[in-house]
Structure 1
Amino acid sequence: MHLTRFRINTARVGARRLLSSPQMLHAAVMSSFSEIPPTGNDGPRVLWRIDRNSQAETYLYVVSPAKPDLTHLVEQAGWPETGRWQTYDYQPFLSKLAAGDRWAFRLTANPVHSIRRTDQEPTKRTAHVGPRHQLRWLLQRQENAGFKVVEKPAEQRLLPEGDEHELIIHDRRQLAFKKAGQRQSVTLVTATYDGRLEVTDPDALRRTLTRGLGKAKAYGCGLMTLAEA
């Protein structure tokens, strides 16, 4: 497994075009591999995420089974003369994960649930748009994903109920874009989670980090990364 980071030059027209369309950016990411990577749920797959930091810098992160070549992205959305990308061997980090470890994490996800108002209606996938429901979406998946979000000490909680976890939800977006060959737009709700977690099942967490969490993985959702807390 590999973890890649690429800084995007947002002053370039090509970069702004890519950032406006998850469909186009997905195609650009997948073009980084000479052979078509696997996309199923039974093994590691290509995951990607856009991060924006406090210095107004924009980064593309990619986790992938094969090592990518981002030359085309440097030419289209980077600094062709001076810009490169960094790719790291992800396996040593994944191998050392252990139960009880605590890490800071970031996840951009597509928090959705399935509803059906009547027995006659088909099941419909609907996005969670409120922060409380988006938080519940993550907490409902943490056990199977191999971690638990760290809870705050009682004296640090702002309210008797709510705000119990060391977690913030930000950069909540609703994106609309068109798939290739389709007239109707696709609407995608995303939210970014920053917080602290404790590892409960290292194998399950390794699967989460390499297979993604939630839906819309092709469109920049599902990639969780860890850093020292």
Structure 2
Amino acid sequence: MHLTRFRLHTARSGARCLLSSPQAMHAAVMSSFPHILPTAEHTPRVLWRIDRNTTAEVMLFVLSPDRPDLTHLVEQAGWPAAATPDNPGWQTYAYTPFLERLEKGTAWNFRLTANPVHNARTRDDQPTKRTAHLTSRHQLQWLLTRQDAAGFRVLAKPEDRRHTEHGDEHQLIVRDQRSLNFGKRGVPGRVTLTTVTYDGRLEVTEPDALRRVLTTGLGKAKAYGCGLMTLAPVG
């Protein structure tokens, strides 16, 4: 597995075009792998995520089985004149050694952009429909109900910093909620989805289960920038 980081040049129109459409970004990401044909029925799982750290610091992360070639993204949405053979405009790291070092009981900071949804019906005589969670409380619960199966436990805050009546007893925040509405090329209608970003601290409970989540994603809308969880050392 490989984890790739690419900074978008947000002042360029090409970058703004990609950031405005998850469908366009998905197509650009998948074009980074020359052996994957757009018409292929079965393609390897590729996860990606946009981190909007500041207005000028917007990062694309890509997790993939193979090493990508982001030359087209550099030309469209990066700094092509600054690219060199040693620094082509993106950084790719071997991810498998990191995954193999995950151990039970270790603590990590994590980030996840996800599409928290549930199945609900407006009337008893109607079938259930996939519906987005729109409040922070329900979005937090969406992640907390999945942590055991995903091989981790979100750590609790120290007792003197807990406010259980507000539902914030965990070292976890939900931010950057976005309502997306975009078209798919060649498909009638439009796609609508809600995304949020989770920042928090976790403890590994089942390393193999967590490895599966880190490599296959968590939740729905993985093609549209959701599901990729990354870890960083505590402190």
Query: TM-score when scaled to structure 2?
Result: 0.91
**In 1, Cα distance between equivalents of 2:213 and 2:52:** 22
Report the equivalent of 1:143.
148
**In 1, Cα distance between equivalents of 2:149 and 2:44:** 17
**In 1, Cα distance between equivalents of 2:68 and 2:90:** 10
SS of aligned partner of 1:129: coil
Paired residues for 1:41-80 under 5 Å = 45-54=45-54, 56-80=56-80
* Native 8 Å contact 1:44 1:207 kept in 2: no
SS of aligned partner of 2:134: coil
Count of residues paired in the alignment = 227
* Native 8 Å contact 2:9 2:56 kept in 1: no
Offset of residue 100 of structure 1: 0.3
1:32-72 per-residue CA deviation (whole Å, 9 max, x = no partner) reads 001228997xx972000000114730000000001100000
Structure 2 residue 192 is matched with structure 1 residue 191:
no
**Unmatched segments (≥5 aa) in structure 2:** 84-88
Offset of residue 186 of structure 1: 1.2
Structure 2 residue 169 is matched with structure 1 residue 164:
yes
Amino acid at match of 1:7: R
Report the equivalent of 2:219.
214
Amino acid at match of 2:173: I
**In 1, Cα distance between equivalents of 2:229 and 2:161:** 26
**In 1, Cα distance between equivalents of 2:199 and 2:41:** 26
Structure 2 residue 178 is matched with structure 1 residue 173:
yes
1:162-203 per-residue CA deviation (whole Å, 9 max, x = no partner) reads 110001111111011111123422111000000000000000
Structure 2 residue 207 is matched with structure 1 residue 202:
yes
* Native 8 Å contact 1:104 1:228 kept in 2: yes
Cα distance change, pair 160–217 in 1 and its aligned pair in 2 (3 A): same
**In 2, Cα distance between equivalents of 1:113 and 1:179:** 23
SS of aligned partner of 2:146: helix
**In 2, Cα distance between equivalents of 1:149 and 1:69:** 35
Offset of residue 119 of structure 1: 5.8
**Unmatched segments (≥5 aa) in structure 1:** none
Paired residues for 1:5-154 under 5 Å = 5-36=5-36, 45-54=45-54, 56-83=56-83, 84-118=89-123, 120-154=125-159
RMSD, aligned CA? 1.9
**In 1, Cα distance between equivalents of 2:220 and 2:17:** 23
1:106-126 per-residue CA deviation (whole Å, 9 max, x = no partner) reads 000000011234564232100
**In 2, Cα distance between equivalents of 1:119 and 1:55:** 45
Query: TM-score when scaled to structure 1?
Result: 0.94
**In 2, Cα distance between equivalents of 1:190 and 1:163:** 20
Identity %: 67
